[in-house]
Structure 1
């Protein structure tokens, strides 16, 4: 199992976090584990995480239960996020420059300052670019 990747789906709800871990085996998805992690009252209000530190503490203790090879996916409210395919720039970039470039490109498309965005991206080898998810940071 050292080279097999768990796919983890996470749904943050008002009072708890529901998490499932799946593994592709013999062309079928198999459930590896599931968790229901209770949240302190007031961590999430009306679908918005207001106590980030409390949420981070809960997830840090859960993180220790995961294998080294895993990929986590989190659902965000659709009205507050944008998913986009970005092509690679013409020049090669170091990792920190790459993150800055991607955040700037998404900020331009959303017409928002890059500092107001939370950005995550994954290499999209087939399209020679990145699949990017950007969302407004809390407070915007």
Structure 2
């Protein structure tokens, strides 16, 4: 049965990869597996995955620990992805007509040859719109190659800021609370509200910078303990834990968000 599969998040960053697997149980989610491995600092260049002997060795070693059936979700850096909203027509569209409508609209939404883009779409918080995500097929292929060489087959590539949103939705946050996730060269953010938003920022991370960027926020939270920020515990979203646990659970926030991502309909 589908719910028996492990749902796995894979978060690859410069210097490290974090993986986390969960499985649905009657009372909630069970942590089944986690791992953190060191990687070269130049594993990502402008968000594009650079294959290396160290990366392949880490992925192959990790693959040996997984069951035969799993759903793998891989995070993509924000700079690789373009996002637009598309108004739905007055006539209700179902698949495959909805897919044809999105494909036909892509040339107007993105200033790139449509055939070179991989498109994904989902309903936005406003039911009259679709959120359209586009990434270059050649970039997706570069990410896919070392994964497949290691015997891994991703079900989904997901924007890392949306993985953070999966965690934020479930904590949950009050309106105008801000959640950030620091990374080596940028930080991800999610702002709660009637129309929640998320994204990435390359400015130096400090409470003053966050307050200037988000003047309407009521408080700032972080997946990592930082002065001026309230630390959150991503693993509080899991009902069943098993020892040993990582020393810094915040490192796994994106992997957890990817694992929690609902299956596509």
* TM-score, scaled relative to structure 2: 0.35
Contact 1:17–1:36 (CA<8 Å) still a contact in 2? yes
- The aligned length equals 120
For residues 91-110 of structure 1, what are the structure 2 equivalents within 5 Å?
A: 108=107, 109-110=109-110
Q: How big is the shift at 1:20?
A: 0.6
Distance in 2 between residues matched to 1:120 and 1:60, nearest whole Å = 28
CA distance in structure 2 between the aligned counterparts of 1:43 and 1:106, rounded to whole angstroms: 34
Kindly provide the CA deviation profile for residues 110-138 of structure 1, in whole angstroms up to 9, marking residues without a partner as x.
342356445679xxxxxxxxxx8642344
Identify, as 1 or 2, the structure richer in strand. 1
Higher-Rg structure is: 2
TM-score, with structure 1 as normaliser: 0.59
Q: Give the drift of 1:57.
A: 4.6
Map 1:1-140 → 2, pairs under 5 A: 4-45=4-45, 48-54=47-53, 55-81=55-81, 82=83, 87-89=94-96, 108=107, 109-114=109-114, 116-118=116-118, 134-136=134-136, 137-138=138-139
* Deviation, structure 1 residue 28: 0.5
> Is there any run of 5+ residues in structure 2 with no aligned partner, and where?
86-92, 122-131, 140-265
Q: What are the ranges of 5 or more consecutive residues in structure 1 without an aligned counterpart? A: 91-100, 122-131
Distance 2:62 2:111 in 1: 36
Query: Which is bigger in relative contact order (C-alpha 8 A, separation at least 6)?
Result: 2
Moved over 6 A (4+): none
- Map Cα deviations across residues 42-61 of structure 1 (whole Å, 9 max, x no partner): 22246x23523543453233
Q: 1:6/1:42 Cα in 2 relative to 1: closer, same or farther (>3 Å)? A: same
Structure 1 residue 7, shift from structure 2 partner: 0.8
